[in-house]
Structure 1
């Protein structure tokens, strides 16, 4: 069971690298047309084309769950679980904390969470797909965690 827990945790951690690469080379690359509206000022619609990436990224996890229980429980299930946990973390950090699509963590004072917000704000300064920075989600450069000097 420790092996399966390790597989889940390692998968979760690897997903940050997968997310960075996907965000930089796919979302800001050949699938920019799905991600572009996410970099534009928000209108009155609750959804954007960018939300389709949640569905796209859920497919591997669902398939891994399916094949991870056939013919009996195996490591594929726990890889799918790591992807699922990362997806939940991504939703909570990106959509809830950073973009405030839900007003759950509105008044945080955590340096880490404020650093995540700041790094993402820097990422969104560029409205186009070129010259972006801060493509990660959970691990961002330490310079964003520093408190401003008063």
Structure 2
């Protein structure tokens, strides 16, 4: 007997910019085996703030560095469910935005988890790249 599908079968890719990026500490916990592609991208019209071990993006006059993550065949619903669960518990809300894929400059619609209204933000991360801020990569 097969399990019922609990989420969409396909949909937009995801733009990740913090602990879910390849090489960061939550990538393997939540994305390993669920993706078919991960490639550098940029989100324009956003600023990046430090948080309690992970960053928060908010709308603003800036650009955020990250990666565009495409779900593996058959894994979209499960990936969407796990990311919604993890991110909503950390003060994010999922919105659809246009990001630019760096390899070819293509504009791609993607899900992005932005700080929910009222989420306390830490200091601004200049340059919009959480990896470039320095500091530990583990929780």
Report the TM-score when normalising by structure 2: 0.30
* Higher CA-based Rg: 1
Question: So what's the TM-score if we normalise by structure 1?
Answer: 0.29
The higher relative CO (CA closer than 8 Å, separation ≥ 6) is in 2
Bigger share in strand: 2
Q: Report the structure, 1 or 2, having the larger helix content.
A: 1
